[in-house]
Structure 1
Amino acid sequence: MWISFYNNKGIGDTLLLTAGNCDRYDAVVTRNGDVTQVVNKENNEVIGYNIHEVSKYVIIDANGHFALTPEQQEVVMNLIKDAGFDVANLDLTPKEALVVGYVEECVPHEDSDHLNVTQTRVSDDTVLQIVCGAPNVAAGQKVVVATPGTVMPSGAIIWAGELRGVPSAGMLCSARELGLENAPQVRGILVLDDDAVVGTPFIG
């Protein structure tokens, strides 16, 4: 999932598009005109584009993370293509990031005394393996899932990765991480009512 950032006062007139992260020593940066592409040389995946002097091409009324409109997507796609970069697999359509999930399985992490490995359904055809350290996580719960690419209220971005050597694709969220009013300050994920519908957007 691609994430869009723009902050003219903070970083200048540059649109930042990101789909992942990597060690800076693994980043291969190529600039053609007003477009910079960032590739992770470890897996040869494109993880970012910067569109410099973007206001020459499209008006962006945003400050921070935002969703590109269909018209903005078309302009940006054409800019990247015209700069000589492949856009065949580039999809800038905003996706629902925080969704209702169902914990189908929860087993202890073999290399941790507090982590659990869950299999959490987020749609009819998608189950994510998510490692969770919350003490109250259990199979059979309806939960809030931050899917990879989610920008949390704190500004942190959730990416797929590993925890203690186990792949983890997302995060099961607490009320505090979701920025909910009167969120309890104790550790633990937010457990939703049983009638919450899996795969639907979470509205706090």
Structure 2
Amino acid sequence: MIFAYNPKFVSDTLMVIVADDKNLEQSTDRRGNVARLTTADGRVIGWNFFEISKEMTIDGTGQVTLSAEQIEQLNQIMHAQGFEESLVADSSPKFVVGLVKTCVPHEDSDHLSVAEIEVDHGEVLQIVCGAANIRKGLKVVVAKPGAMMPDGLLIWPGELRGVASFGMVCSAKELNLANAPMKRGILELPADAIVGEAFPIGK
């Protein structure tokens, strides 16, 4: 679940993205200042909360983090408008330090690799990566499913050349880090970086 807020460019609207729409046809059910976005088969993919500053103060822009109390407040707003669904808080970090456990060439590409990367709590994600410098044993920054990159790109599970991929291995430039090197390739972290630790990104 992704919370996004950018009052300067998108108006005073909190966007809650709960699933990848995959460019599917959408329908909107708006009641008061709440709108539910669904696909043609009825799957809920997001919510919009208009004029949200009248209800709460949101810190930051882009992908933002809400407290459990704020999420409960959103649920109360939804229920007051007759919606039965509820949002569930997820406080786990979406940008974390990962350890490349395995890395093999993609069978259908001359430049992609398929890596198994350990992230937080021992979880291992399969990620297809196009960086030439990815290799076994490297500590990297992983954008997990549900992450929003500084440029607004949303990270969801997908496929590259027929191979499932559950996240993205990031470069310093993609993370919008200060003084990011101009050379191509993913960010290589020090050997003592702690696997699973949240990694701060630029905005």
Same fold (TM over 0.5): yes
Secondary structure at 1:124's aligned position in 2? helix
The answer to whether the 8 A contact 1:100-1:198 is kept is yes
1:186 aligns with 2:183: yes
Aligned to 1:58: 56
Aligned to 1:141: 138
Aligned to 1:173: 170
What CA distance in whole angstroms lies between the structure 2 residues aligned with 1:156 and 1:78?
A: 29
The answer to whether the 8 A contact 2:24-2:39 is kept is no
Secondary structure at 1:30's aligned position in 2? strand
TM-score by length of 2: 0.86
Aligned to 1:122: 119
Which consecutive unaligned segments of at least 5 residues does structure 1 have? none
Q: CA deviation at 1:201?
A: 1.0
Q: CA deviation at 1:76?
A: 0.4
String of CA shifts for 1:138-184, please: whole Å, max 9, x gaps: 11111111111222233322222211122211111112222223322
String of CA shifts for 1:66-107, please: whole Å, max 9, x gaps: 21233321210112233333435x323433111011111111
Aligned to 1:71: 69
1:164 aligns with 2:161: yes
Q: Percent identity?
A: 46
**CA RMSD after TM alignment:** 2.3
What CA distance in whole angstroms lies between the structure 2 residues aligned with 1:155 and 1:23?
A: 15
What CA distance in whole angstroms lies between the structure 1 residues aligned with 2:83 and 2:131?
A: 42
The answer to whether the 8 A contact 2:171-2:186 is kept is yes
Aligned to 1:22: 21
The answer to whether the 8 A contact 2:140-2:188 is kept is yes
String of CA shifts for 1:97-141, please: whole Å, max 9, x gaps: 110111111111111111011111102341111100000111111
The answer to whether the 8 A contact 1:129-1:167 is kept is yes
What CA distance in whole angstroms lies between the structure 2 residues aligned with 1:61 and 1:136?
A: 36
Count of aligned positions: 201
Moved more, 79-88 or 67-76: 79-88
The answer to whether the 8 A contact 2:62-2:152 is kept is no
Which consecutive unaligned segments of at least 5 residues does structure 2 have? none
The answer to whether the 8 A contact 2:5-2:62 is kept is yes
What CA distance in whole angstroms lies between the structure 2 residues aligned with 1:185 and 1:113?
A: 23
What CA distance in whole angstroms lies between the structure 2 residues aligned with 1:25 and 1:3?
A: 18
